[in-house]
Amino acid sequence: MATVYETHGAFSWNELLTSDVPAARKFYSELLGWKIREMEGSPMKYQVISAGGQDIGGMMAIPEKAKGMAPAWGAYVTVKNVDETVGKVKSLGGKVFMAPQDIPGVGRFAVIIDPQGAVLSLITYVQR
């Protein structure tokens, strides 16, 4: 059976960009019982969120290039080929907010905006 990391169109990851990672870790771990650990070797001090022993998302500080944005959750949807999928966005009335780029050891992702203005991340995971 395919996992959400292999299924085209499946929501597969949720990520919080926040102005205060320690406060967010404390809040969500106490509220929801999440286990949160720092990803080893991550230059951005990425935090991995687990529930029921399964990794379900992550959190990190708002990047410098996005300073001033409000903290926000973002969702990732798995696609077979992120570059091909992003190639369809404009013809369907959407916009490409962040062009496809690699996340070493994870996969390739992009951020799009649909015609109504909603933001969504698309990702093709590295096959393991």
Domain map (residue ranges) of the chain: 14-68
Does residue 1 surpass a pLDDT of 80? Answer: no
Confidence tier at 42 by pLDDT (50, 70, 90): confident
What is the pTM for the complete model shown? 0.90
Whether pLDDT at 128 is above 80: no
- 3-state SS, the chain, equals CCCCCCCCCCEEEEEEEECCHHHHHHHHHHHHCCEEEECCCCCCCCEEEEECCEEEEEEEECCHHHCCCCCEEEEEEECCCHHHHHHHHHHHCCEEEEEEEEECCCEEEEEEECCCCCEEEEEEECCC
The CATH architecture annotation of domain 14-68 reads Roll (3.10)
